[in-house]
Every structure is written in C-alpha cells, then in structure tokens.
Amino acid sequence: MKKILVVSVIFLFIGVAVAPSINQIAVKASQDDDLVEVTTQACGIQGYGNTTVKLTREQANEIDLLFETINSKLNNVTSREESIHIYQNAIIELDKYDLLPQAMTSEQALHLTNGVNQNTIVRLLNNRQQEIFPKCVNVFCLLSLIATKSGWVYPILAPFGPLFVISAFLSEVFYTIGAGTLYNMLIPIILILSILNPLKLMNLVMIQGYYTDLHSIGIKGNVESDDVFLLVGFTGLMIFTLEKKVYFLGSALAIVPTA
C-alpha cells in the first residue's frame, strides 16, 4: 500500500492553507514565568471550541506525567476495552485541569476518543491486516502519542473532505500524464477546498520535526513506535503544553511510519 497516493500534493497545499492557524494555537509561556498556557483542541468533530487554561509549571509537568502513565498502561493492555478504561481515567484527570474542549462533557470526550465506530471494521479486517496494511504501524486503532519538538516545525492538523481528495487525486493524475494546464487549473481548487473544508471527512495530522512516543492497540495488536509520520483519520484530543510537547489521545484509521 502506498503511504498516501498524493501525499506530496496534499501537504504542499495543506501546509500553506492550514499551518498559520495551527501555529497560532501552539502553546506559549505567559509573561509570568511560573505559568504556562495549555490549549486543548477537539479533532474530528465540530461544534466544540478550543480550551486554553493557564497552569503552573508543576501542573503542566503533571499533564506530562499523566500521558507517560497512559502510555505505560497501554503498553500492557490486551484489548480495546482495557484501553477505553484507561482513556476514561485519563479524561477524568484532564477534566480536573479544565482541559476538555469548550462545552464538552467527560462522557462526550470519552465517546470522541474511544473509536467506537471502528469496532465493526476491526472485526471484519482483523484476520487480513498484514496483507491489506503491510507498511502501516497500526490501523483502526486507539492511540496515545507524545510528540516532543526537535525542530521549528509544528504538527499540521489538516481536516479535509472527499471533494478535496478527489481534486488532489485528479491533480496528481494530470501531472503524471503531463497535462500541465489541467494540473495548474486544479491547484487553486485544492487550495479553496482545503480552506473551506466542505463535507468534512477526517483529520490528517503530519508530524514533522518531533520525536514521537506512540502506544496503540488496533488491528495489528498492541504496538509501540517512535517512528510516526502521519496520523490518518485522527479523532480525539490534541493538547499543546510546555512549548515543546503535543499530546494526542484518541483513535486513527491508520498510522504511517516515516520510511
């Protein structure tokens, strides 16, 4: 399976259209050195605003420890049900710090993160995962991911819909066959669709310039990895804190490695 048929085209234009808004919600230290702004964003659902709170650095370190604990526990689970129980406890802890998205209850946050819509697909594909997804880290999985900044690039969160995918696919086809005029005509369409985002389908997260610590359970079983390039169809919570780290708690259709 190709990593993504048109990944180069998609990210070229998504980066232009989306990166500025993502950079604006990246965490920054407050003027008071003892406080850190922490932002939580709901991914894969509409109607909930970002939440930003100011925590002491000690509290922010506690958030870091919380996700390290989540990863440690996920490393030992044998079923999705056990993972969901870990998620439930984690969301209760995040709620104590007022870190759930605006207007979202803990029950709604659990429903968002636990990948409930994947269960039927997991049962259908479980016995064929190696032949269908040989190069993915994991697929149809629950995940906890800590991304630690190693460079200047922020993760790019890019919601896109079927019209965007179709346009990007056609653009790649026209480029491949040498139809330069049609290729150039589709570029502004892709840019417009990436901004307007009609018929929202999924979230695509490219992780670049970060060290990653992933723990997941899905069709490929319980998988750890420090090699994450792309989260396809990510749904859940994304939390920015301590200026250098981003935390992900939720589910994904596929996790694609760098190589």
Each residue's pLDDT tens digit, 238-257? 998 766 889 999 999 889 89
> In terms of pLDDT, which residue wins out, 204 or 74?
74
Residue written as token pair 């990246």: 26
pLDDT of residue 2: 44
For residue 44, being part of any structural domain is answered with yes
Phi, then psi, of 57 in degrees rounded to 5: -65, -30
Q: Tell whether the model's pLDDT for residue 3 goes beyond 50.
A: no
Q: How many domains does the chain have?
A: 1
Which range has highest mean pLDDT (6-10, 84-88, 162-166, 226-230)?
A: 84-88
Domain of residue 217 covers: 31-160+201-256
User: Using 50, 70 and 90 to split pLDDT, how confident is the model at 15?
Assistant: very low
Strand partners, 225: 214
Question: 85-97 as b/e, with b when 16 or more CB fall inside 10 Å?
Answer: ebbeebbeebeeb
C-alpha atoms less than 13 angstroms from C-alpha of 131 in its C-beta half-sphere:
4
Q: What pLDDT does 100 receive? A: 95
Give the residue-averaged pLDDT of 195-207.
62
Q: Is residue 171 part of a domain?
A: no
Specify if 62 maps to a domain: yes
| 177 assigned to some structural domain | no
The CA radius of gyration of the chain, in Å to the nearest whole number, is: 18
Whether 240 and 38 have beta carbons less than 8 Å apart is answered as yes
Cα–Cα nearest to 206, from 36, 63, 47, 19: 19
- Residue 54 in any domain: the answer is yes
Q: Is 5 exposed, middle or buried (0-12, 13-18, 19+ CB in 10 A)?
A: middle
- pLDDT at position 12: 38
Q: Please write the tens of the pLDDT for every residue from 28-69.
A: 444 456 889 999 998 878 788 899 999 998 999 999 999 999
Q: Is residue 75, in this structure, part of any structural domain at all?
A: yes
Report which DSSP code applies to 122: H
In a domain, 188, yes or no: no
In a domain? residue 66: yes
Residue among 67, 68, 88, 81 at smallest CA distance from 217: 81
Chain centroid offset of residue 33 CA = 29
Where is pLDDT greater, at 128 or 167? 167
- Per-residue pLDDT, 143: 95
Q: How confident is the model at residue 85 (pLDDT cuts 50, 70, 90)?
A: very high
Average pLDDT over residues 157-186: 61
Q: How far apart are CA 29 and CA 34, in angstroms?
A: 9
118: DSSP letter: G
Range among 114-118, 176-180, 181-185 with highest mean pLDDT value? 114-118
Instruction: Reduce the DSSP state of residue 219 to 3 states and report it.
Output: coil
Higher per-residue confidence, 26 vs 75: 75
Helix (H) or strand (E) holding 202: strand 202-206
